[in-house]
A = this chain, B = another copy of it.
Amino acid sequence: MPRHPTMKDVAHEARVSLKTVSRHVNGETNIDPILADRISAAIVKLGYRRNLSAASIRPGRTSKTIGLVISDLANPYYSTLARAIESVADAAGYLVTIASSEEEGLRHDRLVDRLMEQRVDGLIVVPPRNAARDWSDVAAPIPPLVFLDRPVPYAEADAVLADNAAGAREATLALASVGSRRIAFVGDSLDIYTMRERHAGYAAALAEAGIGVDDSLTITTARTREQAEREVGAVLRDDSADAVFAANNRSTIGALLAFQTAGRRLPLVGFDDFETSLLGNPPVSVVSQDIELMGRTAADIVLGRLNGDTSAFAVRMLPTQLILRGSEKPEPEEAEERLSRGPSRQ
């Protein structure tokens, strides 16, 4: 593998000075067409490519790169966010370096440090659940920083979040409005910010509907799809609830699996839409976040800061959307149901 040709090589080949090549490469116009042609020819002949790493160390120049630290790129929620960010960044001429923290504070901090050492121009970050270092302990200068999807652990930054509490409230009200009274909350630990928010919205809706919160209906052990399935299976056996608010994707799918196994279902609304929500029978009602908008907003904020926006730091709370597809309603009576259904389906 040959060495990378440099500007000096090009200059030599084209019998011009370094500076003239630099001008040519940077698209300046005041340059003799004769020389320009010679330079172009030399560039093609040698296969010259700019070294942006080298260029970026000059004062005032940057890497035109944005760093993104999320929990897990394999999670569709985060890959959708990443895609939206990448899309906005690319349109502005920026690359995106993406890293997964796996919710581990130390790993997160290591990745942030690495990205700063790489001199990214901006940083978009999903704070890990188990935060390690405090952001106020990070030495200046910190590049424009946006927190995503989680509460803001640091004042000198912007943030973009979904209104989890409002979404959960709407979902729970929808279940209550068609007659459910013992609505179970099925989700992950309330140590997780989004879960706390969603549970708060759930509780608020119950209060509004004149239903007391029954703690035995709050299930926070659904870390995986399988656990959710077991928990909802137990609910069905005990007949302890008459509806389910599934506070995340895994809980929704676990609930559906439990319904399938039991041969009967409860009214259900889930948090976060999923690819096959239309395939349920009935189709599954969900609280949907505009994930792409969240990503685009975060990227826009960073790019705005890079373009000199010095307005006060702010938290953008984005609304969610309740999509009712039918699963929020109670199961029809047996006889009636048989009629309304085809002889079989997937």
Contact = CB atoms under 8 A, between A and B. Distances in A.
B74 A79 contact: yes
A104 to B, nearest CB: 12
A276 B278 contact: no
Interface stretch (A108-116, A158-166, A187-195, A212-220): A108-116
Nearest to A277: B276
A264 B282 CA distance: 16
Interface string A320-346: 000000010001001001000111111
Contact of A279 (B4, B117, B253): B253
A337 B346 contact: no
B281 A117 contact: no
Contacts of A119: 4, 51-53
B47 A139 contact: yes
A284 interface: yes
A80 interface: yes
A170 interface: no
Interface string A82-100: 1110110010000111111
A130 interface: no
Given A141-B4, A262-B342, A82 B98 contact: yes
A346 B337 CA distance: 13
A114 B95 contact: yes
A260 B281 contact: yes
A97 to B, nearest CB: 5
Interface in A29-76: 46-54, 56-57, 63, 65, 72-74, 76
Contacts of A3: 141
A275 interface: yes
Question: Considering the complex of A and B, which 8 residue pairs feature the smallest CB-CB distances, nearest first?
Answer: A263-B342, A47-B139, A79-B79, A74-B83, A73-B83, A54-B57, A256-B346, A1-B141
Interface of A: 1-4, 46-54, 56-57, 63, 65, 72-74, 76, 79-80, 82-84, 86-87, 90, 95-100, 111, 113-119, 139-142, 253, 256-257, 259-260, 262-265, 268, 274-276, 278-282, 284, 327, 331, 334, 337, 341-346
28 contacts: A2-B140, A47-B139, A50-B117, A51-B57, A52-B118, A53-B57, A53-B118, A53-B119, A65-B97, A73-B82, A79-B82, A79-B83, A95-B114, A95-B115, A96-B99, A97-B97, A253-B275, A253-B276, A253-B279, A256-B346, A259-B345, A260-B345, A260-B346, A274-B276, A276-B276, A280-B346, A327-B346, A337-B344
